[in-house]
Structure 1
Amino acid sequence: MKRIVKLFLFIIVIYLFLYINNHWIVTTEHVYESEEVPENFDGFRITQVSDLHDAVFGDNQQNLVKKVQKSNPDVIFITGDVIDSNRYDLEQSLDAVRQFVQIAEVYYVIGNHEVATNKVDEIYNVMEEMGVHVMANSSVTLKREEQSISVAGIEDPLNGHDTQSMLNEALSTVNPENLMILLAHRPEQFTTYVENHIDLVFSGHAHGGQVRIPGIGGLAAPGQGFFPKYTAGTYEGGETVMNVSRGLGNSGFPFRIFNLPEIVVVELKSI
């Protein structure tokens, strides 16, 4: 009887551990401080949502939506893999996005999973109908009075174009005097972002390494293999800072371990 009780308790502990690791959303905050940030954008808050992979966080995604709303964003960046190509359900995937557009302006780039569905045009059309700014190798200018910053976004390379050619297209109309922000799904392309003198990059894709080993980091990431270099947090090279979100959902391996789902908030600070 004692063995049965111990086994039962062990199963409950494992269940709770996995549930928390895969459903407890945390908010990670960073400050990006630079002379390139215009005074009118001092305190400008960017909330990044990445790699939802059709995961569900409460009824009608309320747990996720409340977290994003509480972060008080001026803009929301979605950096790919909103859907999961293994269980494509566009309506469910976009529940949260429909609510995001009521909170702030939303800017979106695709990830490899959108490409893998062969439904990129459908996804783009629905996003645009909701009022999302689709950043398909393009850029926009954000203005506060007479000052401005630039935001560009590139598609995932799986869509058939190399990163450099997509950057050439996206940056072709950017004012070089502006702070340059890039939305790009893949962090393993960091060297290319540095070579193009991007100031601030928002990326995802790595899922935090899926399993995070305390004191070491992520175990594996797509495009980087085992013990990947870019999985979470900020990375600097030249004049470039890259923020990599651990993301929210899973694909392939069904569990995140020591790797809580996260949204990332970056506040711009002028110096």
Structure 2
Amino acid sequence: MIERNAFALRTSTLEVLAPGSPSIRVLHLSDLHMLPRQQLKQAWVRELDALEPDLVVNTGDNLAHPRAVPAVVQALGGLLDRPGAFVFGSNDYFGPVAKNPLKYFDRNHERVPGPSLPWQDLRAAFVERGWIDATHRKQEITAGGNTISVAGVDDPHLQRDRYDTIEGKADPAADLRLALSHSPEPRVLDHFASDGYDLAMCGHTHGGQLCLPVYGALVTNCGIDRSRVKGPSQWGEHMKLHVSAGLGTSPYAPARFFCRPEATLLTLVPARVDRAATEDGEAVSRSGAGVR
């Protein structure tokens, strides 16, 4: 219960930009699970604006209380004035409920939604300040001198994803093709990789939340394997995946162990090789080592 307030800033460098593009810094936030009176968390998040990121990405689960929208908006503060994109998670739509933690070991357990949360108010606040709602949309952002093609899906954890709404090859002319989803479900990640996205960003896992030394996460609460529960990894031949361990916990499980709450500052730099061409000559992805 102490570690849940030991907030940490992680850093990582990913080679995902088109050759010759200027490097950019992307702040990845996820899983705040904010309660109105969590002033320590709110103050820590507010200070992240001093990092001056070129782009802010929020992958959902911001709320844990019906009256938490003002707390989230005030915590994000100046970050909302920077270029940003977001998708929502289950705990933007529905409040947390008490449950047996052993259910997390069963991927197919019955999910009981809690009370409805004011996600429309949160979305309106984000959009009003200039952030892009990437849910089931393909849009373009200019950040740090780069053209970024962004697409996202609604939360796969709730079966709300409708990939057919954004299906098709990502923009080959963009400096970065960015995919967003709250839960890193393999079926969605495979679609993104097949359509030529360079980087997928997700949250949801809490990094395992309760981990063991050496062994790591006990569960991921989704379809990915434990080795990908947080941080960067390779997904398929051409796409990178970054999963945030998030900044919060459910109020019914307010504990972390060997898994500090975190935000991540990603430095994106040009890939060392050119994009690979498909048989019809359309450039859709960058060459890279490793397969899922």
TM over 0.5: yes
User: Is 1:188 aligned with 2:169?
Assistant: no
Aligned-partner Cα distance in 2 for 1:160–1:63: 32
In structure 1, the residue matched to 2:211 is 212
Identity between Structure 1 and Structure 2 (%): 23
- Match of residue 9, structure 2, among 9, 15, 27: 27
Q: Which deviates the most, 193-202 or 57-66?
A: 57-66
Q: Deviations over 1:47-98 (max 9, x none)?
A: 00100000566458222221x22433001111100112x6652222332134
In structure 2, the residue matched to 1:254 is 254
- Match of residue 78, structure 1, among 46, 51, 58: 58
**Against the structure 1 CA distance between its residues 145 and 65, is the aligned structure 2 distance closer, same or farther, given a 3 Å change threshold?**
closer
Q: Which deviates the most, 174-183 or 139-148?
A: 139-148
CA contact (8 A) 2:27 2:265 kept: yes
User: Is 1:239 aligned with 2:235?
Assistant: no
In structure 1, the residue matched to 2:149 is 150
User: Is 1:230 aligned with 2:228?
Assistant: yes
- Match of residue 69, structure 2, among 82, 87, 90: 90
Letter in 2 for 1:177: A
CA contact (8 A) 1:187 1:230 kept: no
**Against the structure 1 CA distance between its residues 120 and 57, is the aligned structure 2 distance closer, same or farther, given a 3 Å change threshold?**
closer
Q: Deviations over 1:174-225 (max 9, x none)?
A: 5233221112111123333333332101110000101121112212232349
CA contact (8 A) 2:49 2:78 kept: no
1:93-132, aligned counterparts within 5 Å?
A: 93-102=72-81, 104-116=82-94, 117=116, 119-132=118-131
SS where residue 258 of structure 1 aligns?
A: coil
1:172-183, aligned counterparts within 5 Å?
A: 174-178=170-174, 179-183=176-180
Letter in 1 for 2:172: P
**Against the structure 1 CA distance between its residues 162 and 136, is the aligned structure 2 distance closer, same or farther, given a 3 Å change threshold?**
closer
In structure 1, the residue matched to 2:268 is 268
Q: Which deviates the most, 251-260 or 128-137?
A: 128-137
User: Is 1:52 aligned with 2:32?
Assistant: yes
User: Is 1:65 aligned with 2:46?
Assistant: yes
Aligned-partner Cα distance in 1 for 2:41–2:154: 28
Q: CA deviation at 1:160?
A: 5.6
CA contact (8 A) 1:206 1:230 kept: no
> Larger helix proportion, structure 1 or 2?
1
Q: Deviations over 1:83-125 (max 9, x none)?
A: 12x66522223321343224x2221110111232364433322
Q: Unpaired segments of 5 or more residues in structure 1?
A: 1-17
**Against the structure 1 CA distance between its residues 25 and 37, is the aligned structure 2 distance closer, same or farther, given a 3 Å change threshold?**
farther
